[in-house]
Amino acid sequence: MSNPVSLEVVDRTALVSIDNPPVNAASHAVRAGLVNTMQAANAMTDVDVIVLYAKGRTFIAGADIKEFGKPPMDPWLPEVCNRIEDSATPVIAVLHGTPLGGGLEVAMAAHARVALPGTKLGLPEVNLGILPGAGGTQRAPRLVGIPSALDMILTGRHVPLDEAISLGLVDHVLDGTPREAALGAAALWRESKIATRKTGELTVAPDDAALNAARETIAKTQPHLFSPMKCVDAVAASVLPIREGLRKERDLFNECLNSPQRAGLIHAFFMERAVAKVPEAKLAPRAFQKIGVIGSGLMGSGIATACLMAGLSVVMIDTSPDALERGRAAVAGNLDKAVARGKLSPDKRATASSGFTTSLDMAHLSDADIVIEAVFEEMDAKKAVFRTLDDVCKPGAVLATNTSYLDINEIAISTRRSEDVIGLHFFSPAHIMRLLEVVVADATAPEVVSTGFALAKALRKVAVRAGVCDGFIGNRILATTRKAADYMLLDGASPFEIDTAIEAFGFAMGPYRVLDMAGLDISWASRKRQAATRPAKERYVAIGDRICEHGMLGRKTGLGYYSYDEEIAPNPDALAIIDAERASAGIKARTFKADEIVARYMAAMVMEGARVLEDGIALRPIDVDAILVFGYGFPRFRGGPMHYCDTEGAATLVARIDAYAKEDPVFWRVPDTLRKMAKTGATFAARN
Ligand code: CAA
């Protein structure tokens, strides 16, 4: 393998350059190369300064994440950083792109830092379940103080260059290529315009108040996460002499490295990128700039907002002036909030408004490149819309439906251009939720699929490819998981107990809180729709139906599984309905411990996930994981249901499902692939 680190001497400057595409990750070869070249440069008596820079799009963007979990190989990054800091010859780092994590740690070990315009710096390790373990927790406080170091390390945010300068992270800005800036930095150093000093020799002002405040915030806002508290403990050690602090940092880093959360979060990092690698992505997408959105309700206005925020123009269609006016107001409100949250600049807000039109006439879709239908979930209504689209849209326009579960093949054949029809399933609120399920029907042309993925990229969403079935990937798995929850409800658990257990596992919200938020009539409607195809022997829990029949439709009516007065509390009327249903089924309520609730809920999720894979509805296990993490509040640190199964072991899941099947063999059935995996010890990860 060629050496990714090279040494060039220009006059009295030793230029050490790193070339390890795509992001110059500090792989083993880079680390070894850095140690060797630093040693060689230090031995050169005619060299008075060493400058580190990187080729390509960025300075080192971190340790090589692919190496985590594998046996460690010397030299480790902390040692590389110590070698740089200990260098007798002054070392300057020239930064560009995104010096992140281990990359910024290398830079902080240098004796001065110069950056090119546009550089963004950060310590995002916490997002991967670890901490900056190459001296970052010790050197950042020495350069920027404990409060700013805590902010950077606990948020992982990318710090823009002007802020990095004012914090004291960057000493100087230079234009040009990284190599030109490296030579420029050496010249400025010789003119004493750039001062060098060893970061480890700086002292840190103790700040117990900042450390305690950080601990309190974490306990309140991130109670499930392991690494944030460890980050604070490591920063607390920065008041010690550097070698002692570094030893403490190493111990805490190893604790994080060995935690299952690290594996889950790194799985999630790669998952976000892996899902875009679908067979159709090789084809050039169709060009798009003008988007038609049919329907001005919550979904339509969210989709329109997402498109406008991405700089696309939007024409929104509805059937009444009042509905359009409500849609227009909703979009304006969404854009205003995006400006207030700092997600959209006032300039872009103005461009977004000027690119937005509304109309009662579908003929105004004649020049749209992509049309997204978001009318109510009724097959006949959808077909009528698509027949009109067939008449009015230009040839080559992509015709998308935002249906959550209807048969897209049936919608497609209502047009004379089935190859242009695709499902683009957004999640509400569509301008905020990151998931887009791209549902590929039998006749969908590959470049239409590629266009769906390109649209998702423009909207900064995570697109996942799905096949056609009732509920596609996400809602199909959700339906099965909800049944498992309902069986526990009928058998003795309360909605509050189930929600509490699932939230303690790490879900953003338990199933009954989600149902109340979405509106209980929505799931009621899908149960009615599925009634005809429900297996006759399957247990049916009518609690949700009964609650709806009493006019309690969740949050919007103030009553559902919970009551929403000033405080949210279990709804006594719903509890009475549950008791009555148990009595009429002759069930004596039993106790469910939190562990059992989670085990059953997760077993149902894995069971349906495995079936979705067997049916070819999802391409790979990682696609199932991405759907749940980005669209359904699945805890990111657990990596998704299929990763969870790998963590627990397929044999454990099979044993659980077999045990549950003894009481209900209709619902609980081990999918063949899962049983095979349990026998062979195979993992879902091996199929990603
Ligand atoms: N290690 C290994 N591979 C990496 C990587 C890393 N640190 N960072 C990015 N990559 C890979 C991506 O997986 C992707 O690979 P594919 O093309 O095969 O999918 C490729 O590089 C390009 O990445 P992106 O698609 O994300 O490109 P981008 O331009 O959108 O973003 C980036 C670039 C901002 C650097 C982004 O990739 C990123 O945030 N990377 C992670 C940065 C990070 O977390 N660094 C800390 C690492 S942990 C650490 O350093 C520990 C320590 O303290 C010792």
Token pair for 90: 């002054």
Place of tokens 């562990």: 595
Residues 441 and 289: beta-carbon distance below 8 Å: no
Place of tokens 């006439």: 361
Neighbours of 469 (CB within 10 A): 17
> For the ranges 452-456, 480-484, 526-530, which has the lowest average pLDDT?
526-530
pLDDT tens for each residue of 344-377: 999 999 999 999 999 999 999 999 999 999 998 8
Q: Provide the pLDDT for residue 530.
A: 83
Regarding the beta carbon of 245 and ligand 1, being less than 6 Å apart is answered: no
Which class for 304: exposed (0-12), middle (13-18), buried (19 or more C-beta within 10 A)?
buried
The full length of the chain comes to: 688
User: Per-residue b/e over 655-671, b at no fewer than 16 CB within 10 Å?
Assistant: ebbeebeeeeeebbbbb
Which class for 535: exposed (0-12), middle (13-18), buried (19 or more C-beta within 10 A)?
exposed
- Cα of 112 vs centre of ligand 1, distance in Å, is 25
1, pLDDT greater than 70: no
Neighbours of 528 (CB within 10 A): 10
DSSP letters of 71-116? PP-SSPHHHHHHHHHH-SS-EEEEE-S--BTHHHHHHHHSSEEEE-
Token pair for 462: 């995570």
Across the range 55-62, mean pLDDT stands at 98
Ligand 1 atom closest to Cα of 130? 51
Average predicted confidence (pLDDT) for the chain:
96
Ligand 1 atom closest to Cα of 274? 19
Contacts 24+ apart (CB under 8 A), 571-578: 574/495, 574/543, 574/547, 575/494, 577/543, 577/546, 577/547, 577/550, 578/489, 578/490, 578/494, 578/495, 578/543
Angle between helices 650-661 and 594-614 (to 10 degrees): 100
State whether residue 11 is helix, strand or coil: coil
- Cα of 15 vs centre of ligand 1, distance in Å, is 25
Nearest CA to ligand 1 atom 38: 61
pLDDT tens for each residue of 551-580: 999 999 999 999 998 899 999 999 999 999
pLDDT band at 104 (very low <50, low <70, confident <90, very high): very high
Q: Provide the pLDDT for residue 72.
A: 83
Q: How far is CA 598 from the centre of its chain?
A: 23
Does residue 342 come out as left (phi exceeding 0), alpha (psi in the -120 to 50 range) or beta?
Answer: left
- Cα of 23 vs centre of ligand 1, distance in Å, is 6
CA pair distance 454, 310, nearest whole angstrom: 12
Neighbours of 350 (CB within 10 A): 11
Regarding the beta carbon of 20 and ligand 1, being less than 6 Å apart is answered: no
2, pLDDT greater than 80: no
Regarding the beta carbon of 66 and ligand 1, being less than 6 Å apart is answered: yes
pTM: 0.93
Nearest CA to ligand 1 atom 25: 273
- The closest of 380, 277, 216, 359 to 626, measured between CA atoms, is 277
Across the range 505-523, mean pLDDT stands at 93
Residues 200 and 142: beta-carbon distance below 8 Å: yes
Q: Which is more confident, 493 or 528?
A: 493
pLDDT tens for each residue of 202-212: 999 999 999 99
Residues 402 and 372: beta-carbon distance below 8 Å: yes
Place of tokens 């992982």: 156
- Cα of 623 vs centre of ligand 1, distance in Å, is 20
683, pLDDT greater than 80: yes
